[in-house]
Amino acid sequence: MDRIRLVGGNPLNGEIVISGAKNAALPLMIASLLTDEPLVLSNVPRLADVKQLERILENHGVDIAVHGRRRGESDGGGQRMTFHAADIVDTTAPYDLVSKMRASFWVIGPLLARCHEARVSLPGGCAIGTRPVDLFLFGLKELGAEIDIDDGYVVAKAPKGGLVGARIVFPKVSVGATHTLLMAATLANGTTMIENAAQEPEITNVAECLVAMGAKISGIGTRTLTIEGVEKLHGANVEVIPDRIETGTFAMAAAMTGGDVLLRGARPEHLQAALDILAKTGVDLTPEADGVRVRRNGNGILPVDIETQPFPGFPTDLQAQFMALMTMSQGTSHVRETIFENRYMHVAELARFGADIAVDGQVATIRGKDKLKGAQVMATDLRASVSLVIAGLAAKGETVVNRIYHLDRGFERLEDKLSRCGAEIERLAG
């Protein structure tokens, strides 16, 4: 199993091109199931999760093609891919495929909407909490679906004539359920209103894709989405938005190590809460025409308290990275995790660097240290993995991050991007 070796202490200086957002690319790929015409996506990141979803979609009968770069496109850009679901040959998403990635469960919405039936294994993914699918099933039932659980599979059937529009009020915000119900409602009979919908930029990217495919959606970017069902969707050409989590991750890496990094392609409006918090730590953030510049030259890191919230609040997917940054702050900070109940598994690994972190329920208290020391550490989930890399970049001496397949799920060419900015980092095979 591959590992990452790095030697800390080098400030980051240079430019990092932000990849396409994994959390937008996956539901956009799934949206191809809604039409028998080709859906062309550009700026698709090269990630293990993308490859895994390709296998799942191919199992349903989707033809997938990867295109070469067009004239003028840089080698730092993502892939351009065509997804063509001319015929759905199988409405079952099997356990051996779905268990590897939670987002693959979302195929249940398009399959049910287009084929009026679906049999999808209960999902897997990172071990950061139970993350139940009850809101997904609640919403599908509101659209008229009959739902049964059979031997670890969700078996869903639409009423005769297909799903029926309805008013769906989520008791709490769910990105996955919003994606799934939004896609399902596009082909339902009548009008659907989704209240307390997630507002993440990735939701907007998918909603705008669906509109380009012929869907009728209003309220995009708000807590209330209204979808007027149509009989058929068509193909479209859509670009995956830049990854705001990757943006925040590299911004925190630059903040922790010092230096001057331009995050090319970053859209600050997609993570303003996180950037506002980062500015309070003493980091200089400057929006530029082609991205965001992050600087910290000599000044210390100030302690700041955060609480994770749904968008537009501080993202839970940046919590581990921010905690790594706070381990070297000049004082005591607190992190309150409100989204997932088991997202502090990185705490024990950060302690191996010498970090002083105490956890009491949802709250972690971090007492900053002047320096960290390199260590052998183990990745436990996607975002925890990269927090260990950030800590290692700033720690004195050598760090080895084991079990990095988690990183490959969500970060494209991580070692290459960091090494180009002066980090001493390499992948060790085996």
CATH number at residue 360: 3.65.10.10
Can you tell me the distance from the alpha carbon of 360 to that of 429, in angstroms, rounded to the nearest whole number?
38
Query: Can you tell me the mean pLDDT for 111-131?
Result: 75
Q: Which residues are annotated as a binding site for phosphoenolpyruvate?
A: 22-23
Can you tell me the distance from the alpha carbon of 344 to that of 319, in angstroms, rounded to the nearest whole number?
9
Task: Give the chain's domain count.
Answer: 2
What is the model's pTM?
0.95
Nearest to 136 by CA among 128, 145, 127, 126: 145
Model confidence at 76: pLDDT above 80: no
Q: What pLDDT sits at residue 73?
A: 54
Strand partners, 306: 335
Report DSSP state, residue 38. Answer: -
Model confidence at 430: pLDDT above 80: no
Token match 């938005």: residue?
241
Higher-pLDDT residue of 28, 429:
28
Q: What pLDDT sits at residue 129?
A: 41
Higher-pLDDT residue of 281, 101:
281
Q: Which residues are annotated as a binding site?
A: 22-23, 102, 131-135, 172-175, 317, 339
DSSP E strands: which ranges in 117-173?
117-121, 146-150, 153-157, 167-169
Model confidence at 71: pLDDT above 70: no
Least confident range from 69-78, 211-220, 240-249, 271-280: namely 69-78
Domain boundary, last residue among 179, 210, 239? 239
Model confidence at 131: pLDDT above 60: no
Instruction: Note if 209 is an active site residue.
Output: no
Same domain membership, residue 64 and residue 53: yes
Instruction: Order the strands of the 356-360 sheet from edge to edge.
Output: 306-307, 332-336, 363-367, 356-360
Same domain membership, residue 53 and residue 14: no
Query: Can you tell me the mean pLDDT for 293-299?
Result: 90
CA 213-247-373 angle, 5° bins: 150
- pLDDT tens readout for residues 24-50: 999 999 999 999 999 999 999 999 999
Model confidence at 75: pLDDT above 70: no
- Phi and psi angles of residue 195, each rounded to the nearest 5 degrees, phi first: -105, 150
Residue 392 belongs to domain spanning: 3-19+242-428
Q: What pLDDT sits at residue 130?
A: 44
Quick one: tokens of 233?
């969707």
Domain boundary, last residue among 187, 216, 239? 239
Domain boundary, last residue among 216, 239, 262? 239
Model confidence at 7: pLDDT above 90: yes
Same domain membership, residue 250 and residue 224: no
Same domain membership, residue 63 and residue 210: yes
Letter for the amino acid at 73? E
Model confidence at 268: pLDDT above 90: yes
Least confident range from 28-32, 85-89, 103-107: namely 103-107
Quick one: tokens of 56?
């799942």
Same domain membership, residue 188 and residue 67: yes
Task: Determine which one of 115, 126, 209, 421 is catalytic.
Answer: 126
Average pLDDT over the chain reads 94
Least confident range from 77-81, 387-391, 418-422, 424-428: namely 77-81
Same domain membership, residue 274 and residue 213: no
Same domain membership, residue 200 and residue 255: no
How many angstroms from the chain centroid is the CA of residue 383? 9
Model confidence at 375: pLDDT above 60: yes
Q: What pLDDT sits at residue 334?
A: 98
Query: Can you tell me the mean pLDDT for 210-223?
Result: 98
Can you tell me the distance from the alpha carbon of 407 to that of 413, in angstroms, rounded to the nearest whole number?
10
Where residue 301 falls (left for φ over 0; alpha for ψ -120 to 50; beta otherwise) is beta
Query: Can you tell me the mean pLDDT for 251-277?
Result: 97
- % the chain with pLDDT above 70: 96
How many angstroms from the chain centroid is the CA of residue 93? 21
Same domain membership, residue 252 and residue 197: no
The H or E element containing residue 293 is strand 291-296
Q: What pLDDT sits at residue 74?
A: 55
Same domain membership, residue 180 and residue 150: yes
Higher-pLDDT residue of 340, 186:
186
Query: Can you tell me the mean pLDDT for 245-271?
Result: 97
Same domain membership, residue 162 and residue 98: yes
- Cα distance from N-terminal residue to C-terminal residue, the chain: 4
Nearest to 97 by CA among 170, 153, 22: 153
Letter for the amino acid at 297? N
Same domain membership, residue 208 and residue 185: yes
Model confidence at 213: pLDDT above 80: yes
Same domain membership, residue 64 and residue 15: no
- Beta carbons of 186 and 230 less than 8 angstroms apart: yes
